[in-house]
Amino acid sequence: MTKIYYFLIFSFFCYSASAQNEIVIKGTVVDINTQLPLELATVYFTTVKDSTVIEYATTDKNGAFSIKTKKYDKPVFLKVNYMGYQPYFEEEKSLLENKDYGKLYLLEAANALDNVVIKSEAPPITIKKDTLEFNAASYKVRPDSNVETLLKQLPGFDVGTDGKVTVNGREVNQVLVNGKTFFDKDGAIALKNLPAEIIKKIQVSDFKTKKEELSKQESTSDYSSINITIDEKKNKGYFGKILGGYGSDERYESSLLLNFFNNKQKISVLASSNNINSTGFAMDEVFDNMGGGRNSKGNGGNSGSGKGITQSNLVGLNYSDDWTEKLMAMGSYNFSNSINNNESKSDQVSFLPTGNIATSADSKTRNESTSNNVNLELEYKIDPSTRLVIVPKVNQSRSNGNSSSSSASEDENGAALNESNAKSFSESTNTSFTNTINFNKAFKKKSRNFSVVFDNNNSNTDADALNLSQTIFYKDNKPNDDRNQKSINKNKNDTYSLELEYTEPVTDSLRIRFGSDFDWSNDMKDAKTFDYNATSQSYSSLNDSLSNYTTSKQNSFSPKVGITWQKSKFTVNLNTRTALIQFDNHSLYLNNATDLNKKYALPYGDFQIRYKFSRSKNLSFKYDYSNALPSAVQLMPVLNLSNPLNTLIGNPNLNPIEKNSANFSFRNYDFRTRSGYSLYVKGDYYNNDVVSTSIYDDSGKRTTTYANISGTYIASIGGNWNQSIKKDANVFRYGFGLNGSYSFDKGYTNAIIYNAKSTAITPKVNLTYEYGELLVISPSYSLSYNQTNYENSSRDASSNVVHRINLQTTSYWPENLIFGNDFGYTYNSSISSNFKKDFYLWNTSLSYGFFDKKVYAKIKVYDVLNQNQSATRTISATSIRDEENTVLKRYIMFSVSYKIGNFAAAEKGKKRRQREE
């Protein structure tokens, strides 16, 4: 730590000295004919010698730019690029003093189209009609860096410790490679494993559904999509990485990723096996598959959360190719196997109007699952205006598990209410087939379009289980509940939907859509339970009270109409439909048949407006009105006695759930200052929401049914701000975020209505400092505050505060040596005394590269202080629950990784240079 301290002091003085070496270059970019300013033109300096980008900026709405750069005593080019205009360049002998260029005039390119770029040197940033494009060569990263490292260098990008990528405040939910999926839609494998050196450009656009993409409709999503384009010169060859490691406590990890690229044909193979809780596939350059730190996806960076220890095995194959000019194919196969072992304990307090019930429980479980997944996508261009896309998916999975558990409940005076012990063994098999067919026909008239979307989802599940349990009741002389049973459950679900839509342009800016949705679904559940027969020593006695048969059919027809009004600054979308639904339910229970048939006419509608102040500043507002039907389980008067402490029964008088949603967001990113912020406000309001209502008896056993209740809602507000500053070798990235929510919940306990008002506030701050290619330091802090106030309950209020502090450091000095540390501290203020309130999680890694960094030998230590734990508090409207689960503890891992790479074009170029020499 002392060395880092002195190093930071040295960096500070370097930073101060560099400020005296800075100059400012200003100017304005305008159209030579109209004299109008050109917003978001790219202005940059490159060296004359090798075209290396020195510094760049983009123009504001007045066409003005300002570039702060260090003095440069060598010849440079000033270059200006703007879509549809001829590039401008001017040579300077040096950059040694401040300068104002005044007006720089651009000449519009003849016959320029929206998506045509005048062939010249690629600028760092190009802004097309609806796409932001970054030239990868303009951003320097270490030679062994992956795509994720490259994204962190791009202005407006943020890659969180959980792997979440945002661009200009908008979350990325799709990552493509050359326009196609690479194993998975979220792109985690591509970002972690594709080398940055093969990337030509990164394109960012609004995420579109396949229907919106084919019909060239405007995006209605609040997410972004990234397309990674591979350099044509490196699009032919192979590359990959192989890793193997073994450590203390018999911990191990192994992984393999091989990619074979031949222009448009791409084949990738991956495999992974470990017992360190890495259930996916990610090979971080510092910690490989080790979780709990920067690889702890969704766990807040330093969290030790998780349930149990998982051993996992994974094999995958990804394929994409253009078979013909008209037919493109993509496909993937994944085999996975995982075994999870966990021991947990929990304390729960349930609130009743007359008092509390405290329940302590513990369990031990082992679950194993094996699955095979096949995903395909075929896109056929029938003719230039007609396209057909078929996306079938097949999944087959098997699982088995066993568990033992116990629980005990007492009232607020400490008097025992009930006690339960149980053991279970289960096996299940699931087979599913889903398919989506998109057909789109574009007509000669611009924006006239006809689309058809067909979806189906067919699944079949068979599950068997053995259950041995004893429940003891201490009140009302209630007899004990002893069970030795076998259950056989068969579930089958088939759903189909068809969407027809025709779009007609009324004017250049106004379009109207007509169409209909057709939906069919059929769900069957057949549950049989057999008691153990001592005479025959088999499970042969059918238990009628625990056996039932239900079916649910739903058919609907939904005519719809929509309007889109689009101008240069704003887009308005309005959609409305009415669903005419036939809902038929049937049950057979205790030899009594019940039929519940209902018909509904339910309205739906949404309104969305987007306004673009500029290409980097926009706001959106969306309102959505919808209805949803209760499930068959919530409706049918069938007793579910599977839990001895909770009997469930449906309510046939439930009404549809009515929901109103509103969402407002504003985003702004300034490329000139590399800073941006986003704000959002959203809320959901429910009428006839379906809630559970329970009646407790004196022994703590409850009977639960369902009821409609109106007036519940949840509202949230939040925002974030981030900025990036680069001074010579020093790069600072810092940001602040704040999220808050307020909810109002109502329900019934012992026939008395209660309400709960909950407030949650989560501020967070993060900083990243980089010194060239030598050092990265990333501290962060977040706080989660939750408070709930109750009415008509035995408790007035409850609250909880969780603090999380994290520090990540990575050093790449001396050469070939990588030293990484993830240090986190978590403090849970209000968790009960039976659980530890705080813990440290410190992971460290030291690796050395051999043979031109193709081979890395590494030693890693997980949980150096041996303090990791998983203790959480959950506050709801009716209870507080503290829970702790098994987590990985300290282990040491030794590993070796080998990088493979051979690109045909690069090899030929190397040999040609050698011959010339």
3-state DSSP assignment of residue 435: strand
Instruction: Beginning with the edge strand found earlier in the chain, give each strand of the sheet holding 64-70 in spatial order.
Output: 64-70, 22-31, 99-106
Reported confidence tier of residue 852, pLDDT bands at 50, 70, 90: confident
pLDDT value at residue 294: 65
| Measured distance CA(131)–CA(887) in Å, rounded | 44
pLDDT tens string 536-574: 999 999 999 999 999 999 999 999 999 999 887 889 999
pLDDT at 292 over 90: no
d(CA 401, CA 369): 9
Q: What is the pLDDT of residue 99?
A: 92
The percent of residues above 90 in pLDDT, for the chain, comes to 58
Task: Quickly state the pLDDT bin for 16 (edges 50, 70, 90).
Answer: very low
The reported pLDDT for the residue numbered 805 is 96
Per-residue tokens: 781: 């802090």
Give residue 282's pLDDT band: very low, low, confident or very high (50, 70, 90): low
What's the whole-number mean pLDDT along residues 375-404? 95
Residue 656 · residue 690 · CB < 8 Å:
no
pLDDT (0 to 100) of residue 903: 66
What gap in Å lies between CA 891 and CA 864, rounded to an integer?
Answer: 8
Nearest to 638 by CA among 689, 596, 598: 596
For residue 672, the model assigns a pLDDT of 64
Helix (H) or strand (E) run with residue 213 in it: helix 210-215
With cut-offs at 50, 70 and 90, classify the pLDDT of residue 18: very low
Mean pLDDT of 190-203: 85
Choose between 8 and 400: higher pLDDT.
400
**Tell me: the pLDDT tens digits for 200-227?**
899 988 888 887 787 777 777 778 889 9
User: What are 645-677's pLDDT values in tens digits?
Assistant: 999 999 999 999 999 999 999 988 876 677 889
In eight-state DSSP terms, residue 652 is: T
pLDDT band at 129 (very low <50, low <70, confident <90, very high): low
Give pLDDT, residue 50.
72
Cα–Cα–Cα angle for 761, 766, 770, rounded to 5 degrees: 175
- Single-letter amino acid code for the residue at 283: M
Q: Is the pLDDT of residue 772 over 60?
A: yes
Other C-beta atoms closer than 10 Å to the C-beta of 907 total 12
Q: Are 27 and 101 in contact (CB under 8 A)?
A: yes
Of 379, 510, 388, 509, nearest to 442 by C-alpha is 388
Q: What confidence score (pLDDT) does residue 112 get?
A: 46
Higher-confidence position of 5 and 316: 316
pLDDT of residue 567: 86
Q: What is the pLDDT of residue 723?
A: 87
Residues ≥6 apart with Cβ < 8 Å to 428? 398, 399, 400, 461, 462, 463, 464
Instruction: Give the Cα separation of 414 and 418 in Å (integer).
Output: 12
The Cα 522–Cα 264 span in angstroms is: 42
867 to each of 274, 834, 860, how far by Cα in Å? 22, 16, 17
Asked whether the beta carbons of 672 and 688 are under 8 A apart, the reply is no
3-state secondary structure of 615: coil
pLDDT confidence of residue 296: 57
Q: Which helix (H) or strand (E) holds 148?
A: helix 147-153
pLDDT reading at 742 higher than 90: yes
Helix (H, G, I), strand (E, B) or coil at 761: strand
* Mean pLDDT, all residues of the chain: 87
Distance linking the first and last C-alpha atoms of the chain: 48
CA atoms within 13 A on the CB side of 902: 4
Bridge partners of residue 538, in order along the sequence:
533
| Helix/strand number for the chain, H first, E second | 6, 48
The residues near 778 (Cβ < 8 Å, ≥ 6 apart) are 161, 766, 767, 768, 769, 806, 807, 808, 809
Query: What separation in angstroms does the CA of 55 have from each of 39, 168, 429, 661?
Result: 18, 20, 59, 45
Collect all residues with Cβ–Cβ distance below 8 Å to 12 and sequence separation of at least 6: none
Mean pLDDT calculated for residue range 723-727? 83
Model pLDDT, residue 593: 93
pLDDT, residue 725, reads 85
pLDDT tens digits for range 503-517: 999 998 999 999 999
For residue 902, the model assigns a pLDDT of: 75
pLDDT at 438: 95
Name the range with the highest mean pLDDT among 5-14, 290-299, 636-645. Answer: 636-645
Q: What share of the chain is helix, strand, coil (3-state, %, to 5)?
A: 10, 65, 25
How does residue 740 score in pLDDT terms, banded at 50, 70 and 90?
very high
